[in-house]
Amino acid sequence: MPLTLSALRPIAPLPLCLLAGLACAQDTRTLTGSLSLRERIALPQDTQAVVELRRPDGSFVTEWREDLGTRQPPVSFSVTGPAGVDLVLHGALLAGPDRAWVTGPMPIAADAGEKGDGDDLGLLMTRAWPPLAFALALRCGDTDLRMGFTAEGVRLDIGGRLIDLAPAVAASGAKYAAADDPETWVWWKGDRVEGISIRLAGADPGACRQAVPEGLLPLTARGNEPSWIVVLAEDGAVYDGPGGRFEGPMPAVGRSDDEGRSVDLGGRVLDLRAGLCHDTMTGMPYPLTAAVTVGGQTHPGCAGDPAALLTGAEWQVAEINGAPLPEGVAATLAFGKDGRLAGAAPCNRMAAGYELTGEGLRITRAAATLMACPPPQMEAEAGFFDTLARVDGFDIAADGALVLHAAGTPVIRARR
């Protein structure tokens, strides 16, 4: 069905606080439990226990954090967050940039825990997290970012915006700066996360602390001509391609000479790096570059989940069919990790689904509120929905903008 205003079905109106993803009337609830790990090992003394609450779209809400000192798991936690909204809990034991044990995401329903009362989640088990590609998740002030190493230096991922940094002269430690903006840099003194300083266009986002890394497993990497595929999962790894098939336990993750991450699959070495990659056959963008080396031959490819490029923040629509939005008119798109799309059309709130396949992106099951607005907004809204109905693919531009395509032509451009 074409995605026009006449075809849209109304959705029940919601309070503005819920539409904004916030709790109404500042209601709160307290979630308690404890973190432990499956491995029978002693954690280093610099380990931190962290529990984060995020919204389903991945955006940060609040956290509980504690230094363990000499204590060992299980570790009790208590984190207070908003009531009346769906949340996702992420727990971790963090022992420096390259060692972490994570719980994986745990959905918390909006009605879990009464107002002001606790909700005990019991014992949450963590698993060892492999430091692949974007190895370090940071929260600097209120800014969430990920940092990974490339062959040339460091790459930052700030809400989908990728910034490449090259080695720079420093009196001590390791410093990396952007070639086109020397006031954008990362300076790492020592081997602890607390020794990282960051500037973004000269601005200090705040002190950096290690955040809970997103679960990267299962992770698929693949390439074409010759065809090859790698699937890494907690319970094992599979390779199929040049050099024959490999199947076995998930190997340890190592570092390449130039700070990439590598996995040895029985002599077939998979290399993963932070950086946008496009499938050479479909053009689909992926969040990680990959290569597999077999018998001295290296075969390039891509890795990760394309949805990771869409989710995690709200996109502000800048252009529709090559034209900027009229003055005073705004539209947004927020892709959730659950396949849902929310946002604001030029007049009404909207909700939809989205589907990602190996071939592209499609917007489905659209709905909207039925407010009336001045003609410029209504005209822009009609064009917005008609254009969304034609979308069949997407890409991330060099400046980090989201570009939605229809039949190979850019039709919507948006920025985080």
Question: Concatenated DSSP letters for 95-123?
Answer: -STT-EEE---EEE-TTSS-TTSEEEEEE
Position 178 in a domain: yes
pLDDT at 8: 34
Cα distance between residue 272 and residue 9, in whole Å: 44
Structure tokens at 253: 């993750």
The domain total for the chain is 4
* 93 and 79 inside one domain: yes
Position 14 in a domain: no
pLDDT at 186: 93
Residues 179, 183, 189, 191: is their CA dihedral positive or negative? negative
Where helices occur in 263-408 by DSSP H, the ranges are 375-390
* 121 and 37 inside one domain: yes
Residues of the chain with pLDDT under 70: 1-26, 112-118, 133-135, 151, 160, 215-216, 256-259
pLDDT at 275: 78
Where helices occur in 240-396 by DSSP H, the ranges are 375-390
Beta-bridge partners for 356: 361
Cα distance between residue 251 and residue 234, in whole Å: 10
The secondary structure element, H or E, covering residue 315 is: strand 315-320
Domain extent at residue 384: 309-415
* 299 and 335 inside one domain: no
pTM for the model stands at 0.69
* 409 and 314 inside one domain: yes
Beta strand 361-368 with 340-344 is unpaired
Beta-bridge partners for 37: 126
Position 70 in a domain: yes
* 198 and 174 inside one domain: yes
* 82 and 172 inside one domain: no
Structure tokens at 191: 């081997």
pLDDT at 10: 34
Position 110 in a domain: yes
pLDDT at 151: 66
Where helices occur in 96-236 by DSSP H, the ranges are none
Cα distance between residue 166 and residue 396, in whole Å: 22
pLDDT at 65: 94
pLDDT at 177: 94
Residue 218, preceding peptide bond in cis (omega within 30° of 0): yes
Position 1 in a domain: no
Asked which of 283, 303, 323 is the last residue of a domain, the reply is 303
Find out whether 389 and 365 touch, Cβ atoms under 8 Å. no
Asked which of 110, 128, 146 is the last residue of a domain, the reply is 128
Cα distance between residue 415 and residue 246, in whole Å: 41
309 by Cβ neighbours in 10 Å (0-12 / 13-18 / 19+) ranks as: buried
Position 2 in a domain: no
Which residues lie closer than 8 Å to 299 by C-beta, 6 or more apart?
223, 226, 228, 241, 242, 291, 292, 293
Position 4 in a domain: no
Asked which of 303, 324, 340 is the last residue of a domain, the reply is 303
* 340 and 287 inside one domain: no
End-to-end CA distance of the chain, in Å?
29
Average pLDDT, the chain: 84
Position 391 in a domain: yes
Of 164, 196, 191, nearest to 177 by C-alpha is 164
Of 96, 104, 89, 105, nearest to 48 by C-alpha is 96
CATH of the domain at 38: 2.60.40.10
